[in-house]
Structure 1
Amino acid sequence: MQGLLEPEDYVHVLGPKLSPLDELRSVCHATGQEDAFYLCNVDDVVHKMELWRQLLPRVRPHYAVKCNASRVVLNTLAALGAGFDCASKGEIEEVLSLGVDPSRIIFAQPAKPATHIRFAAGRGINLATFDNEEELYKMRALHPKCRLVLRIRCDADDATYCLGIKYGCDAERDAPRLLRTARDLGLQVVGVSFHVGSGCREEHVYRRAVRAARHVFDVAEGLDIRGMRLLDVGGGYPGDPEAEPVFRKMAEAINSSVAEFFPSPDVDVISEPGMYFVSSAFTLAANVHSKREVRSEAGDLESVMYYINDGAYGSFIEAVLDTKRFRGVPLEAHGESCDAVPSSVWGPTCDGTDKVEDGNLLPPLELGSWLLYHNHGAYTVALATGFNGLPTPKVHAVVSTSTWSQLRDRAPFTESHFVPSLATGRRHTSASLADPHPCV
């Protein structure tokens, strides 16, 4: 169970007619506030769960902790009844510390260190994935009573990251051999999982994947393996607002495929969404602390270089990987008549490749201005480092009064988690970020 609350455990309740942007402005304008920070809109996470249950009523989500392990995210999803996809001892420990029952956790890592298997066994985590023979021998030696899920490979043609190059066995060639080995070792295989790729942008792959899973179920039946009752349709679902039409098509494809190949309600269907739940819930606010004008030999202004207090070693690893283009939005509005200038935005480290964006038009920004990066919750908080001795952005969470009323009595939340927002005018100093008082 959770002990004393830390600053980032608190959720700031917005007063009537106040928006998350009002709170973000209040934090930016707080005395002494210059560090980059995230604003997390808890209502967005709750909305995503409501949409998931509406579109995929048969599929129970197990949140991929690796995507964003902010305490407010874990608390919110635990309160909403989500399961959790954990891939390490540390993630399991973090989720269990919330008071989540071990039965709500899947150890979704096909290649697990022995120390992590022992830890999971000792904590009652009895559901885990595998995709190779050596893993079976480890599980027999270290956690023989664990219920096992065979991960197969089925890659989407259009996805940001292909995970099949590292995990997942061939459903036709490898699965029968692995099932026989598990049976002969006396291990219990209870289902099949797959992951079509992170950032998947197509829906047709799900029919292929579910059909392949059905084949593995049939092979298991032929090998007299009983108790196959779980289908895990993986993660990689998009979470940005503009991608919702794609997600809706994915949901339709999953529903129809599951109905076709697994019509029996005796088969439980779970999933491992990560970015879906957190992408649009987080906005990063970064402060412009330096700038440099680039001029031609004739003295004409060609572009401006802005330096902010977050970068590639913090929240913008995808800028270096070249998998996403970023465009900051100034907090303060500028009129249409304002002369925008070609600009680049750079991170705070000494690395010359620490560039966040380039070639975008930005209005003239003064030192101390704020740039906002929306839809910034997936694999940002989780991948930030302290390189160069620089701080990583903290999370400032907000919630509407209506959502607060839904969550306030649901564990692991308690009444003490909720405090008034800065935008209410009751608190105006940066000290309130670290020294909140209960919401009354």
Structure 2
Amino acid sequence: MKVTNLDERIHVLDNASNVMTVIKDIATSGVQEEAFYVLDIGDIVRKHQIWKQKLPRVDPYYAVKCNDTLIVLEVLAALGIGFDCASKTEINKVLGIGVDSSRIVFANPAKLASHIRHAAGMGVDTMTVDNESELHKIKKLHPSAKVVLRIRCDAELAQCQLGMKFGCDPTHEAPNLLHLSRMLGLDVAGISFHVGSGCQDPPVFHRAIRHARMLFDMASDLGFKPYLLDLGGGYPGNKGSSIDKMADIINKALDEYFPSDDVHIIAEPGRFYVASAFTLATSIHSKRAVRGDENSPNAITHNMYYINDGVYGSFNCLLYDHQHVTPIPLKNGCGKMTPSSIWGPTCDGLDQVVENILLHDMELGDWIIFENMGAYTLPVASKFNGFPVPKVHVVTDEGVWLLLKDALPLTEDHFVIGNTPANLRLGLDIGGSDIDGWTDPTIQLAPTEILADSSSSTTSFIYDYVEVDPLN
């Protein structure tokens, strides 16, 4: 077995294994020090089944910006999903796995000129617009484009509001854009909207669909033949969340305003498909005990834990996506719980993952797990201060393997059949010839006894932490 930097293949687990057993196997191997993800592609497949069941008239076009991990795109392409791309790089990534250009919507209302030229050259014709200058730009650079007017209809409560940046007023601005499109000889193919990412206001979809119907009728009166309705994003994807209320409102509104099948209805889900599929494992590399109670000067009042991933890495979602994360210690604790905070590895004081939480006492080398880490994490992660972006290990069960192993762009070569604990523990792939430059293949990476039985091995950390007095 060689150490390679090829993309991790999909490990088909037996019935006794799951995401948590894989995490424990890697974390307790004695050789794992970096943070890592475990991606369950079966979770993505189950989300797709839910989508098709709850929203049978709506074709999903996955928002690539949410998580552009290659295996995610390949799995979604194998399921027949379309793609919402925001740049020529995203377009290239999707086209590069064999997706036809007709399954791509260039859903960025403010596009760089070079990106419009590239879309035209690649046959990506459908693109969103919300302003006059964009129409003139498209007329000049891609006159055969299929224009989709994006209107603004904001949810009252959403994780990320988008209306402040994108979307034209449906009552005043949109009619003017329709008239300008007619003057320029552009083809208005339909209407789109985005109520806000992580929407918690389901009724907003009814208002948006009603506005779209009015604009469809206006476009038809101007001589256009609109056929596309894009419901945008906003669908939650964390464990325990549901799209049932949204789906009920959307389905009823579609039956009311778009009852016939002559309109192609799509949406742009992102976090719905990937949020719960990724679980992040981090380890404690440093610990600081704070004494701050003047009545008990020797008592520890707060523990500060420093982990090997932070807001410049996977937890950028705290800053940019307004997420809330819940730490789950891998080992069950005992005794009293102490007010604690969790910090990232960089030298920046902003790098705080959890501000205040009650935790059992933990030591160096202990692992902390974070679920629901698939949305707006990896695409934005950086290597600030020299800390690496966590590796992704990909797993699934036999049922999903049988479903996807012959569904292009996936093939049997994407899968490793059967559990491979040594392989997973070391974060390696099987086979390949692209050897990491830092690796000396003559060096034994771990004693065989560690790989043989991790359950009886002791922690590889031999240091302790230092208790300090409060800072002035």
Please state which band the TM-score falls in when normalised by the shorter chain. Answer: over 0.9
Distance (whole Å) between structure 2 residues aligned to residue 158 and residue 22 of structure 1: 37
Moved more, 122-131 or 28-37: 28-37
Tell me the residue number matched to 2:256. 260
Paired residue secondary structure (1:199):
strand
CA contact (8 A) 1:234 1:272 kept: yes
Superposition map of 1:290-305 within 5 A: 290-296=286-292, 298-305=297-304
Shift of 1:137: 1.0
Distance (whole Å) between structure 1 residues aligned to residue 88 and residue 152 of structure 2: 25
Tell me the residue number matched to 2:411. 414
Amino acid at match of 1:345: I
Distance (whole Å) between structure 2 residues aligned to residue 343 and residue 436 of structure 1: 43
Distance (whole Å) between structure 2 residues aligned to residue 146 and residue 436 of structure 1: 44
Distance (whole Å) between structure 1 residues aligned to residue 402 and residue 236 of structure 2: 28
Paired residue secondary structure (1:376):
coil
**Against the structure 1 CA distance between its residues 56 and 37, is the aligned structure 2 distance closer, same or farther, given a 3 Å change threshold?**
same
Residues 117-160 of structure 1, C-alpha deviation per residue, up to 9 Å, x if partnerless? 11111111011110111111111111111111000000011112
Distance (whole Å) between structure 1 residues aligned to residue 272 and residue 26 of structure 2: 26
Moved more, 319-328 or 66-75: 319-328
Distance (whole Å) between structure 1 residues aligned to residue 173 and residue 365 of structure 2: 58
Distance (whole Å) between structure 1 residues aligned to residue 31 and residue 288 of structure 2: 24
Distance (whole Å) between structure 1 residues aligned to residue 425 and residue 105 of structure 2: 42
Tell me the residue number matched to 1:160. 159
Superposition misfits of 4+ residues, deviation over 6 angstroms: none
Tell me the residue number matched to 2:372. 375
Select 1:289's aligned residue among 281, 285, 305.
Answer: 285
CA contact (8 A) 2:8 2:429 kept: no
Residues 137-196 of structure 1, C-alpha deviation per residue, up to 9 Å, x if partnerless? 111111111111000000011112111111111111011111111111111011000000
Amino acid at match of 1:299: N
Tell me the residue number matched to 1:348. 345
Residues 272-307 of structure 1, C-alpha deviation per residue, up to 9 Å, x if partnerless? 000000111111101111101111352111111000
Amino acid at match of 1:249: K
CA contact (8 A) 1:85 1:107 kept: yes
Paired residue secondary structure (2:62):
strand
Tell me the residue number matched to 2:232. 234
Distance (whole Å) between structure 2 residues aligned to residue 38 and residue 232 of structure 1: 32
**Against the structure 1 CA distance between its residues 364 and 216, is the aligned structure 2 distance closer, same or farther, given a 3 Å change threshold?**
same
Tell me the residue number matched to 2:267. 271
Q: How many residues align?
A: 426
CA contact (8 A) 2:146 2:189 kept: yes
Tell me the residue number matched to 2:402. 405
* Unaligned ranges ≥5, structure 1: none
Amino acid at match of 1:393: P
Tell me the residue number matched to 2:428. 433
Tell me the residue number matched to 1:103. 102
| TM-score normalized by the length of structure 2 | 0.87
Superposition map of 1:125-144 within 5 A: 125-144=124-143
**Against the structure 1 CA distance between its residues 428 and 6, is the aligned structure 2 distance closer, same or farther, given a 3 Å change threshold?**
closer
Distance (whole Å) between structure 1 residues aligned to residue 117 and residue 321 of structure 2: 38
Moved more, 109-118 or 14-23: 14-23
Superposition map of 1:204-215 within 5 A: 204-215=203-214
**Against the structure 1 CA distance between its residues 66 and 322, is the aligned structure 2 distance closer, same or farther, given a 3 Å change threshold?**
closer
Paired residue secondary structure (1:252):
helix
Tell me the residue number matched to 2:438. none
**Against the structure 1 CA distance between its residues 377 and 429, is the aligned structure 2 distance closer, same or farther, given a 3 Å change threshold?**
closer
| TM-score normalized by the length of structure 1 | 0.94
| Matched-pair identity in % | 49
Shift of 1:318: 3.6
Larger radius of gyration between Structure 1 and Structure 2? 2
* Unaligned ranges ≥5, structure 2: 433-472
**Against the structure 1 CA distance between its residues 216 and 19, is the aligned structure 2 distance closer, same or farther, given a 3 Å change threshold?**
same
CA contact (8 A) 2:102 2:124 kept: yes
Select 1:393's aligned residue among 390, 405, 417.
Answer: 390
Paired residue secondary structure (1:7):
coil
Select 1:338's aligned residue among 328, 335, 346.
Answer: 335
Amino acid at match of 1:141: K
Shift of 1:325: 2.7
Amino acid at match of 2:299: D
CA contact (8 A) 1:7 1:436 kept: no
Paired residue secondary structure (1:341):
strand
Distance (whole Å) between structure 2 residues aligned to residue 436 and residue 98 of structure 1: 22
Shift of 1:317: 2.1
CA contact (8 A) 1:40 1:281 kept: yes
CA contact (8 A) 1:31 1:428 kept: no
Distance (whole Å) between structure 1 residues aligned to residue 270 and residue 310 of structure 2: 22
Please state if 1:280 is matched with 2:276: yes
**Against the structure 1 CA distance between its residues 429 and 131, is the aligned structure 2 distance closer, same or farther, given a 3 Å change threshold?**
closer
Tell me the residue number matched to 2:26. 27
Residues 355-383 of structure 1, C-alpha deviation per residue, up to 9 Å, x if partnerless? 00022111111111110000111101111
Shift of 1:416: 1.1
**Against the structure 1 CA distance between its residues 429 and 326, is the aligned structure 2 distance closer, same or farther, given a 3 Å change threshold?**
closer
Distance (whole Å) between structure 1 residues aligned to residue 281 and residue 236 of structure 2: 22
